[in-house]
Structure 1
Amino acid sequence: MAIDIGISDKDRAKIAEALSKMLADSYILYLKTHNFHWNVTGPMFQTLHSMFMVQYTELWNALDLIAERIRALGHPAPGSYKRYVQLSSIKEEEGVPSATEMIKQLVAGQEAVARTARAAFKVADAANDQPTADLLTQRMEVHEKNAWMLRVLLEDGGSAKAGKKGRK
């Protein structure tokens, strides 16, 4: 049966393509975050182990929302590691980096997913697809917040000292 939701076939295909990249980035970031949860070591173990679990669980739940939106637009959702690697802007991690390097990679990953969501938002917005735009807005908010929470773990407190010097 033909889909008649007020979005042309051509636009639905473009949106599904953009969402497929979002799904791939989200899945690769999920896998990387879960891997780091299992393998993190060092003095920040408990903090990172817990934070990574919260983030990979949130990512896992988001995968279904993204895939189901692709399906609602009448297109198949990608579902293989091979396809995700082809579509994703995030590189897989093959080793076990230091905790600091894990944080850096996850900041970069969270920011990459936010950029992918922002690009997909433009496609959805141009097609007047509010449900997809809403989903992507929510995803951007989550990924930007996660990137910030990870990024602050890399700070040494120097910026607070610099702020105090500037006030003298």
Structure 2
Amino acid sequence: MSNSNNPVVGALRQVVADCYALLGQTHLCHWNVRGPGFFALHTAFEEQYTELFAAVDELAERIRALGALAPGGLSNLAKLSPIEEIAEDSSAEAMVEHLAKANEIVVASLAKARDVAAEAEDSESEDLTIARIQVHQKTIWMLKSYLGE
């Protein structure tokens, strides 16, 4: 497509990959969390991955609106994102720590996309990334609060 070299598109493609990796990790934690915090974490993780699923769609559609193709495919998205996978049998605390760090990676990716969009005078993409940063910062705060930080 004609806009595949657009730096905003490149930055948003990275955000989609990182958000999708986070979504997958959050879903894994939702399924496998155990222990005294099970009910709270199981519910919180479901809320997070449900919100992320809608967000990834919005981000991918922004890429399409910019005239490029959105990334997809699990192996392709995994190659694009630095977010590592957590073991299925991890403790609840390890899961929360992992997801907090993964959300921090997403915030960094979004901040880069925000700055690229601002430089390109793409206010719509900039606005989208700012709103997403706020969601992930709140999630980080909640996860770290669970850990007593």
TM-score of the pair, normalised by structure 2: 0.95
Unaligned segments of structure 2, at least 5 residues: none
Does the 8 Å contact 2:32/2:88 carry over to 1?
Answer: no
* Alignment of 1:77 onto 2:70: yes
Unaligned segments of structure 1, at least 5 residues: 3-8, 157-168
**Which string of whole-angstrom CA distances, capped at 9 and with x for unpartnered residues, describes residues 108-148 of structure 1?**
01111011000111100000001100100000000000000
**Which string of whole-angstrom CA distances, capped at 9 and with x for unpartnered residues, describes residues 51-89 of structure 1?**
001100000010110000000111110111121112112
Query: Matched residues in 2 for 1:78 and 1:149: separation?
Result: 29
Q: CA 1:94 to 1:81, structure 2 compared with 1: closer, same or farther past 3 Å? A: farther
* Alignment of 1:34 onto 2:27: yes
Does the 8 Å contact 2:26/2:49 carry over to 1?
Answer: yes
In structure 2, the residue matched to 1:149 is 142
- Tell me the secondary structure at the aligned position of residue 96 of structure 1: coil
* Alignment of 1:134 onto 2:130: no
Query: Matched residues in 2 for 1:87 and 1:124: separation?
Result: 20
- Tell me the secondary structure at the aligned position of residue 22 of structure 2: helix
Query: Matched residues in 1 for 2:18 and 2:114: separation?
Result: 15
What is the aligned-residue RMSD (CA, Å)?
A: 1.7
TM-score of the pair, normalised by structure 1: 0.84
